[in-house]
């Protein structure tokens, strides 16, 4: 399976809230950064943050068909994806943002990830 296919599988697991499958795509020693993080967080914190976000935005989707951009480097060790993410919070707040994710892969799993969310108004999917 190509890294592009693996990245798509990560986002499908997120969209379907299959947290065990989502977890399986990450290395046990995973390190991640989100937006303004100055220090990395571990896999457990990454999962906690993702699940908390999905509780706040229960219909959140990462629009991957197609991605705005999805590519991997020639060595097949890094992927970069850009997608629209949308949802409505429990308080009725609409989310429509660009999500950029840069991943470093080792042995078929994500070992490092940096996420960037641009929350300026974007058209909904």
Provide the phi-psi class of 107: left if phi over 0, else alpha when psi is between -120 and 50, else beta.
Answer: left
Opening angle at CA 100, ends 53 and 61, nearest 5: 45
Over range 50-79, report the average pLDDT: 96
Reported as type and span, the H/E element at residue 18 is none
Per the prediction, the chain carries an average pLDDT of 94
pTM: 0.91
Task: Give me the pLDDT at residue 119, please.
Answer: 78
Across the range 41-55, mean pLDDT stands at 97
Q: Are 29 and 111 in contact (CB under 8 A)?
A: yes
pLDDT at 1: 87
| Residue keyed to tokens 């020693």 | 29
Q: Is the pLDDT of residue 121 over 60?
A: no
How many residues are recorded in the chain?
125
pLDDT at 122: 54
Chain centroid, CA 16 distance in Å:
13
Distance of alpha carbon 63 from the chain centroid: 11
- For domain 3-118, the CATH class is alpha beta
20-29, 57-66, 94-103, 111-120: least confidently modelled range: 111-120
Task: Please say if the pLDDT value at position 109 is more than 60.
Answer: yes
pLDDT band at 18 (very low <50, low <70, confident <90, very high): very high
Rounded mean pLDDT of 13-25?
Answer: 98
pLDDT at site 85:
95
């Amino acid at each position: 399976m190509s890294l592009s296919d693996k990245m798509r599988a990560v986002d499908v697991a997120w969209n379907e809230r299959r947290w065990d499958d989502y977890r399986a795509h990450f290395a046990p020693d995973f390190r991640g950064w989100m937006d303004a993080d100055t220090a990395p967080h571990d896999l457990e914190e990454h999962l906690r943050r993702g699940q908390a976000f999905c509780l706040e935005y229960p219909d959140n989707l990462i629009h991957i068909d197609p991605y705005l951009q999805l590519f991997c480097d020639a060595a097949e060790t890094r992927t970069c994806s850009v997608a629209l993410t949308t949802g409505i919070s429990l308080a009725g707040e609409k989310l429509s943002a660009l999500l950029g994710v840069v991943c470093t892969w080792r042995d078929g799993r994500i070992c490092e990830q940096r996420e960037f969310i641009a929350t300026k108004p974007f058209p909904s999917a």
